[in-house]
Structure 1
Amino acid sequence: MKKIYVIDTNVLLQEPRALFQFEDNEVVIPAVVLEEIDTKKRYMDELGRNAREVSRILDGLRMKGKLHEGVPLHEGGTIRVELNHRSFQYLKETFTEITNDNRILAVAMNLQMEQEKEFQPKKVIIVSKDALVRVKADALGMKAENFLSDRVTEYDNIYKGKVEYEVPLELLNEFYENQRLSLSCIDTDKRYSNQFIILKDALGTSASAVGKIDATGKWIKPFVAETEHVWGIKPRNVEQKMALELLLHDSIPLVTLTGKAGTGKTLLSLAAGLLQTEDLGKYNKLLVARPVVPMGKDIGYLPGEKEEKLRPWMQPVFDNLEYLFNTKKPGELDQILAGMGSIQVEALTYIRGRSIPDQFIIIDEAQNLTKHEVKTILTRVGEGSKIVFMGDPAQIDHPYLDELNNGLAYIVEKFKGQGVSGHIKLEKGERSGLAQLAADIL
């Protein structure tokens, strides 16, 4: 039985091509949705880009027929802009205020009541990323769904970059003697290049080993990089050693790090970048950038030149640099950075259109990026550069993103198994006992 899907504005602003993901069913766009999209298309951010993309898609469909009457889609369904069914007669007793959300609900309710009179009624479903719209729909006796097609994976299946096995002691001995072990000896399931393997003695002794699957995907090999001491930083757990193995490995130009606050993502990345830029000379510059997305209410416009405006947004990066350079006096870090000239801290606002060769690039707070934004950033990476995306998918400040549809999760899933990329999820906090407890229980 075919269905009628009434689409909320936030679905299209998150994924403009969502219109084509409802198979052979009928897609209805209330007129108020067009009004809301029209108010967003002048924005110069991702929201504005998506609003303009929706406008272009609808304009293209308009060439195939009258949208208010319905236009056939390639997938077999139809799409139409609903100009009627706007009456508040059946809604006014429950929700008296005429808001845009309530106008969308009114269209869906009127369509549902119209379908109930048909011989073979179609089920009317509201699709919205707004939880309160879905709650209101339930209260009115209408079916509502979240738009999940933009999610990259199910929650329990997010790639962690490591897997643990219990193996016979003789396999551990073989790994240490031959400096490699065939993956087929321990697992026949699909594993990925640059995935970490933790081997433990099946008898429960303290014997263990840590290795990484090589580019062929057939062998487990020991770490290549020296991870014991990097720019004055010593890894405190095995996951941090895994992160440094990826950060210091020349043949892995794309690294993704996820983890709770205090697991060491930013500090390890900066230490690895400084080592390879300043000491080893592998890269000409260390570029650190993060999206300008506030936590909580925005503080408004900031005075001063670009560097002064960026300082509050980039302060977490400067805090880590102060620790690495062991600065004590106010302004000392600024003097060091000015003298070095090879460290650049930027907002991602300024990265579009650039080509960035021979640089070690760190993108912090990448969980606040959309799929389109991470694609834009990755296509800026020039020859000889290495890029690190890191963040905590559980701490998202972007209004239209969640743990499963943000740009960081998108990269992790799309690039797993690619020989040029590596990923590790850091789970143990090392900032302080209080920070770890807060991350666990709050």
Structure 2
Amino acid sequence: MAKTKQEAARKIFVLDTSVILYDHNAIHSFQEHDLAIPISVLEELDNFKKGDDTLNYEAREFIRVLDDISGNHNLNEWVSLNGKDKGQFKVLMNGNKDDGTAQKFGQSKMDNRILDAALSLKREKPDQKVVLVTKDINLRLKAKSLELPAEDYETGKIKNLEHLYEGCSTIEQVDDTELDDLHTHGFCDVGSVTDQQQVANHYYVLKSNNASALAYYNAQEERIERVDKPAAYGIQPRNAKQSFALHAILNPDVQLVTMLGVAGTGKTLLALAGAIEQRRNFHQIYLARPVISLAGAKLDPYMQPLHDNLKMIQNQFSEKDKNYKRINDMLEKEKLLITPLAYIRGRSLSKICFIVDEAQNLTPHEVKTIITRAGEDTKFIFTGDINQIDTPYLDKQSNGLSYLIDRMQDNALYAHIALDKGERSALANLANEVL
């Protein structure tokens, strides 16, 4: 029987372990196409089941997803995926040792067994295009050397990194009378400042020939409002973008804040100082980091920078000052909790200020999972540097922080600032620029 055009165009995507550990729901992201997973991938996932790491969670969840799909069917045969216009699914047995991969790469590595299985499927299904999907660049290169088409997993990746939202901009040649209104009344009309399409909570440096002002677009009031240089628990912003970031953190109408910046730009310090300044608005403040692979190392050194930021805030006051003692009291009563992110999974997130540091090491799915658990009066602050990613198979385009910034812009509940000026020391700034 002749195949329909749709059947002829249907591809078979073979997923490797890296895709599953990135997104346990990946199996539902390929529309009408067929999917296959080598049994070697299931063996590898078995090694990731136990633990509190993000990878462990993804492995466990995928195994549950696969169990739901299988039902009473044998998975070594094609099984229809649930849902309209979905394809079929199958677990592939390891390929034939005579297929050629063993001679080229050997059979000791799991990656080579995955290649064998995909190549065997390609020979078994000559009328369908078989594509290996992996986030492992080296595995893609090996596949292509064997004339096996290979692709990255695109779900969750942002397309135009160069145009990633920065959260603020400068407008030159503003009329002096508008800046006078801004200083006198605290606001001015949008049209008198710019004819650009407005983005909710976008920040501006407004400059005339004689003066300048900091401002932002209030989407609820539909006007430009002045941004004063705020302070938070003894911490003063040192530049315009730090002022914008702290303004967003202290704005009760903004429930989600993201900050990008290299080390030394003040991301974590501002987030923590702003949270402590608003301590009366929350039952608890969480300062957390995602757990990454530390090769058996202890967690304490990895969490120490968070304690260092807290100590810097505390040292704005003398040891006898009530503000100094208050921080110790908050720690003792767990009103302020510094912890690996995995340790607070499942906790209630109502009336919480939740700071996630190093958020570039999260997947888009994990970021979504965190935010969708938000209860009433909860505020999230995500900070990170997308140039410093430690999680395997994440990059600038596919990490959760980039994904969050790309998807959330122009929402009245959200604000973002890209910090670009280091404030540690002249030497630290020089190193960031030239090394």
Considering the TM-score relative to the shorter chain, is it more than 0.5? yes
Partner deviation per Cα, 1:133-180 (whole Å, 9 max, x = no partner): 011112223221111112245312322212333455367447536643
Q: 1:188 and 1:20, CA in 2 relative to 1: closer, same or farther beyond 3 A?
A: farther
1:313 paired with 2:302, answer yes
Q: 1:362 and 1:91, CA in 2 relative to 1: closer, same or farther beyond 3 A?
A: closer
Partner Cα distance (1:184, 1:139) in 2: 58
Partner Cα distance (1:245, 1:259) in 2: 17
Partner Cα distance (1:18, 1:88) in 2: 31
- Matched AA of 2:301: P
Show structure 2 runs of 5+ residues with no match: 1-8
Partner deviation per Cα, 1:92-149 (whole Å, 9 max, x = no partner): 332124321001112223333455xx5xx43332111111101111222322111111
Show structure 1 runs of 5+ residues with no match: 301-309
**Partner of 1:396 in structure 2?**
389
Per the TM alignment, residue 419 of structure 1 is displaced from its structure 2 partner at its CA by 1.9
2:54 and 2:342 in contact (8 A); partners too:
no
Q: 1:153 and 1:80, CA in 2 relative to 1: closer, same or farther beyond 3 A?
A: same
Per the TM alignment, residue 375 of structure 1 is displaced from its structure 2 partner at its CA by 3.9
Q: 1:87 and 1:150, CA in 2 relative to 1: closer, same or farther beyond 3 A?
A: farther
**Partner of 1:23 in structure 2?**
31
Partner Cα distance (1:185, 1:66) in 2: 68
Of the three residues 296, 299, 312, the one matched with 2:297 is 299
Partner Cα distance (2:431, 2:128) in 1: 49
Per the TM alignment, residue 243 of structure 1 is displaced from its structure 2 partner at its CA by 0.7
Of the three residues 33, 40, 50, the one matched with 2:48 is 40
Of the three residues 72, 86, 101, the one matched with 2:96 is 86
Moved more, 418-427 or 400-409: 400-409
1:191 and 1:217 in contact (8 A); partners too:
no
Three-state SS of the structure 2 residue aligned to 1:32 is: helix
1:158 paired with 2:147, answer no
Q: 1:86 and 1:393, CA in 2 relative to 1: closer, same or farther beyond 3 A?
A: same
TM-score of the superposed pair, with normalisation by structure 1: 0.82
2:156 and 2:403 in contact (8 A); partners too:
no
1:24 and 1:77 in contact (8 A); partners too:
yes
Partner Cα distance (1:359, 1:33) in 2: 39
1:143 paired with 2:149, answer yes
1:107 paired with 2:117, answer yes
Moved more, 133-142 or 339-348: 339-348
Of the three residues 169, 188, 196, the one matched with 2:175 is 169
TM-score of the superposed pair, with normalisation by structure 2: 0.83
**Partner of 2:19 in structure 1?**
11
Partner Cα distance (1:439, 1:10) in 2: 31
Three-state SS of the structure 2 residue aligned to 1:36 is: helix
User: What does 1:119-134 align with in structure 2 at a 5 Å threshold?
Assistant: 121-134=127-140
Pairwise CA RMSD = 3.3
Partner Cα distance (1:175, 1:335) in 2: 42
- Matched AA of 1:389: F
1:87 and 1:110 in contact (8 A); partners too:
no
User: What does 1:4-403 align with in structure 2 at a 5 Å threshold?
Assistant: 4-63=12-71, 66-73=74-81, 74-83=84-93, 85-114=95-124, 118=126, 121-169=127-175, 172-173=178-179, 176=182, 179-184=186-191, 190-201=197-208, 205=209, 207-216=211-220, 218-223=222-227, 226-277=228-279, 281-283=280-282, 285-293=284-292, 297-300=295-298, 311-326=300-315, 337-339=327-329, 341=332, 342-379=335-372, 381-403=374-396
Q: 1:421 and 1:6, CA in 2 relative to 1: closer, same or farther beyond 3 A?
A: same
- Matched AA of 1:212: Y
Partner Cα distance (2:68, 2:285) in 1: 44
Q: How many percent of aligned residue pairs carry the same amino acid?
A: 37
Partner deviation per Cα, 1:219-252 (whole Å, 9 max, x = no partner): 22212xx525433333221100101111222222
1:351 and 1:377 in contact (8 A); partners too:
no
Partner Cα distance (2:180, 2:236) in 1: 28
Per the TM alignment, residue 338 of structure 1 is displaced from its structure 2 partner at its CA by 3.5
Partner Cα distance (2:214, 2:78) in 1: 59
Per the TM alignment, residue 335 of structure 1 is displaced from its structure 2 partner at its CA by 7.3
Three-state SS of the structure 2 residue aligned to 1:199 is: strand
Q: 1:130 and 1:426, CA in 2 relative to 1: closer, same or farther beyond 3 A?
A: same
Partner Cα distance (1:398, 1:112) in 2: 31
Partner Cα distance (1:152, 1:238) in 2: 28
Three-state SS of the structure 1 residue aligned to 2:141 is: helix
Partner Cα distance (2:201, 2:324) in 1: 37
**Partner of 1:406 in structure 2?**
399
Number of residues of Structure 1 aligned to a counterpart in Structure 2: 419
Partner deviation per Cα, 1:377-427 (whole Å, 9 max, x = no partner): 435554444332212122122224322333333333343222222211111
- Matched AA of 1:4: I
Q: 1:103 and 1:431, CA in 2 relative to 1: closer, same or farther beyond 3 A?
A: same
- Matched AA of 1:149: T
Q: 1:83 and 1:432, CA in 2 relative to 1: closer, same or farther beyond 3 A?
A: same
1:184 and 1:218 in contact (8 A); partners too:
no
**Partner of 1:304 in structure 2?**
none
